[in-house]
Amino acid sequence: MTFTESEERQALRKAAGDLARRYGHEYYSKLARSGGHTTELWNEAGRLGYLGVAVPEEYGGGGAGIGDLAAVCEEFCAAGTPMLLMVVSPAICATVIARFGKDEQKKHWLPRFASGEARMSFAITEPDAGSNSHKLTTTARKDGADWILNGRKVYISGVDEAEAVLVVGRTEDAKTGKLKPALFIVPTDTPGFEYKQIEMDLVSADKQFQLFLDDVRLPADALVGSEDAALAQLFAGLNPERIMAASFSVGLARYALEKGTAYAKERSVWGTPIGAHQGLAHPLATVKIEMELAKLMTQKAAALYDSGDDMGAGEAANMAKYAGAEVAIKAVDTAIQVHGGNGLATEYGLGTLLGAVRVGRIAPVSREMVLNFVAQHSLGLPKSY
């Protein structure tokens, strides 16, 4: 066991970070405030291979693991350019298709995930289901060789940038009559598929959408993998999602901590740098400690997942996601406090992160559901819900 990243991953981190810093938070913030997208940065990251590091080599990717993709995500966030679609398209969607997709699905999608050309959203959350994915009402029924999909989804990221959405629906089990989960690739130009932007108080270049699926007719090959393996397929995507979300939060915590620490060194009051006072030094040090702990758990989760231990990765990924979200919130709040009034001035690039880090306690799984998971599965306590 080692707690030191390989030279290859360290080099990947540096290269990805160098690229993201060339764009920087000012670039990101300007686009987010104007309703734009980080298309230029995304496309360059794709051309350089950073978005496809976890795609199998035979399909043009780097052949590495989720840990390497998570490192790229962290570096982009640490540079102040947090692209939420990185958590979804190359992590969830590409991973699910690489592990469970049919040969034609892999040939069509994976090379384009590797190059960044393809963007795909992921749709599981519903207005009346929330965290209870067993109550999903989006259903698919057979009509000859085709599937007919009906349902609603909410808070789906980046649909306006995506050419398709990986939709979690339910099909009827022919033997039992019960509904079971199934994943479908739905192109965004399919008749009957509509989306509407949800107005948010977030300053983000990635927008949120409601989806409306009304008698959406899909060919047989829209189904990803096997109907019978759908639950395994779903969790194959959710673990990388949590690992990426943890890296997303850790990266934002790094960005805020760097800002706060630099300001504490240079800002002087009564002839002394404010960082010399324990009232500011200790909160910054606490963030550093908790951030490093969250990063270690994220790396553990990624290592377990890449080794094929899905169950072990599930526990660690939930813990990492929890820890990352908590320290990101603390980091941004502390950095703003260090800056005083300047912390909310646009010039200093911190106020835009208040909402961004708060999302980590809600999505992709709520703080409370992570605690439920740990209480039940890690501690063996009775199920509470």
Domain boundaries, the chain: 7-119, 122-227, 231-378
Homologous superfamily of domain range 122-227: Butyryl-CoA Dehydrogenase, subunit A, domain 2 (2.40.110.10)
Nearest to 16, CA basis, from 54, 57, 71, 60: 71
- Alpha-carbon radius of gyration of the chain: 21
pLDDT tops 80 at residue 64: yes
Q: Which residue has the tokens 């102040």?
A: 80
Residue 99 has pLDDT above 80, yes or no: yes
The token duo for 39 is: 């298309």
Which H helix or E strand runs over 72?
A: helix 66-78
Element at 166 (helix H, strand E):
strand 164-172
What pLDDT shows up at residue 1? 62
CATH number listed for the domain at residues 7-119: 1.10.540.10
Q: What percent of the chain has pLDDT over 90?
A: 89
Please name the fold of domain 231-378: Butyryl-CoA Dehydrogenase, subunit A; domain 3 (1.20.140)
Grade residue 103 by pLDDT with cuts at 50, 70 and 90. Answer: very high
Tens of pLDDT, residue by residue over 4-24, are 899 999 999 999 999 999 999
Q: 50: which 2 tokens?
A: 């950073």
Please compute the mean of the pLDDT values over residues 36-44 and round it to a whole number.
Answer: 98
Domains 7-119 and 122-227 share a fold: no
Q: Is the model's pLDDT at 50 over the cut of 90?
A: yes
pTM value?
0.96
Report yes or no: 114 and 60 within 8 Å, Cβ to Cβ: yes
Report the run of H or E that residue 168 belongs to, with start and end.
Answer: strand 164-172
* pLDDT above 90 (res 241): yes
pLDDT in tens, 137-188: 999 999 999 999 999 999 999 999 999 999 999 997 766 767 888 999 999 9
**What local confidence, expressed as pLDDT, does residue 162 receive?**
98
